[in-house]
Amino acid sequence: MSNKAKKTVIAHRGASGYLPEHSIAAKAMAYAMNVNYLEQDIVLSKDNVPIVIHDIHLETVTDVATRFPDRKRDDEMYYVIDFTFDELKQLNVVERFNPETKKAVYPNRFPLNKSTFKLHSLQEEIELIQGLNTSTGKNIGIYPEIKEPEFHQNEGKDISNIVLEILNNYGYKLKTDNCILQCFDPKELKRIRQKLKSDLFLIQLIEFEDDEKRMQEFSEYADGIGPWYKQIIKGKDNNGNWVFSNLVINAHKNNLTVHAYTFRADQLGEFKSFEELLQVGLYQANIDGVFTDFPDKVVDFISKN
């Protein structure tokens, strides 16, 4: 994280604008786009294997409902933690869809139920990235997220401890190593720093307005924050100028890096183009880095600025 002035591109769930999120194919594609980091959301299996998947349940990105119809809980959801790694590997991964309507969440992305994609472990993904770093001479980093630690604790599992041990085994131990660890749960991120004694670069993910007042508190254990970009870009004033919150300024005052989520070329809101969204976010709001489903477009945009 040496050159802070340089904008950071994080492949959000891989090149998820083009291939099913968190598939190995989406990661390999994102790697080839020369991003700074590839993101891994992590959930534990029944046998304590960290699985790279966004949610603690399976029915929105896999065919679990047809393959294991009797394994849902009372809330009608199929939980990763109820399946062994071997069982999870039997599932097919697809573009994110609504289980009720069976329609894709992003209709113009990779077609539903085409080709074959599988779930994989954190170790398998690290080995892919480190292997590519060896064969290409690049040095692309990993950006894991500890998902729902409290849920895991209630199921009798210490997800953070398991993940930190794996990161440690693969050489990710210090802030200078090419790994950024993120979590939404402030209590858990603080525990990772203070009790589990991690020296990694830590990002406190945030999503609520109240979090914006907690920069000093976050700076006591974290190295940066990960806000939703709409917590920073508030819209336009009556003269048509973009209005910003003080979040980035306050974060920088507390020596916190700001990596905002999620920049999508097919979800622009009030922006005329993806380029406008990037220009406003990266250069007018001075965000340090972005999570994006379209890494190639962001890499290309930054290279021209």
Q: Which of 37, 32, 27, 40 is nearest to 1 (CA)?
A: 37
Q: What is the mean pLDDT of residues 222-242?
A: 96
Mean pLDDT of 125-142: 98
Catalytic residues: 12, 54
For residue 210, the model assigns a pLDDT of 83
For residue 62, the 8-state DSSP code is: B
Would you say 199 and 174 are in contact if contact means Cβ atoms under 8 Å apart? Answer: yes
Give residue for tokens 């945009």: 301
Beta bridge partners of 37: 10, 141
Q: At which residue do the structure tokens 């139920």 appear?
A: 113
Whether the pLDDT of residue 46 is over 50: the answer is yes
Phi-psi region of 48 (alpha: psi -120 to 50; beta: other; left: phi over 0): left
Burial of 144 (C-beta count, 10 Å sphere; 0-12/13-18/19+): buried
CB 215 within 8 A of CB 225: yes
Closest CA to 211 of 237, 185, 176: 185
- Yes or no: is domain 8-56+121-303 CATH 3.20.20.190? yes
Q: Confidence class of residue 3 from pLDDT cuts 50, 70 and 90?
A: very low
Could you give the angle at which helices 122-136 and 24-32 cross, rounded to 10 degrees? Answer: 30
Q: What pLDDT, on a 0 to 100 scale, did the predictor assign at position 209?
A: 82
Instruction: Provide, rounded to the nearest whole percent, the portion of the chain with pLDDT above 70.
Output: 98
- Surface-to-core class of residue 187, CB atoms within 10 Å of its CB (0-12 exposed, 13-18 middle, 19+ buried): exposed
| pLDDT surpassing 50 at residue 263 | yes
- Tell me which of 4 and 193 has the higher pLDDT: 193
What's the pLDDT tens digit per position in 24-39?
999 999 999 999 999 9
Phi, psi torsion values for 276, nearest 5 degrees: -65, -45
Question: Hunting for tokens 């994102």 — which residue is that?
Answer: 30
Helix (H) or strand (E) holding 64: helix 64-67
User: By mean pLDDT, which of 53-57, 179-183, 212-216, 252-256 is the weakest?
Assistant: 212-216
Report the greatest alpha carbon distance in the chain. Answer: 58
Residue 37's identity, in one-letter code, is Y
Would you say the pTM of this structure is higher than 0.85? Answer: yes
Question: Cα–Cα distances in Å, from 210 out to 214, 223, 229?
Answer: 7, 19, 15
pLDDT higher than threshold 90 for residue 212: no
Q: Where are the beta strands (DSSP E) in 88-226?
A: 141-146, 180-183, 201-205, 224-226
Residue 5 pLDDT > 90, yes or no? no
Three-state DSSP class for residue 233:
strand
Mean pLDDT (whole number) for 109-116: 97
Q: What does the pLDDT look like over 11-23, one tens digit per residue? A: 999 999 999 999 9
Of 190, 186, 142, 194, the residue nearest 168 (C-alpha):
142
* Lowest-confidence pick of 87-91, 167-171, 209-213: 209-213
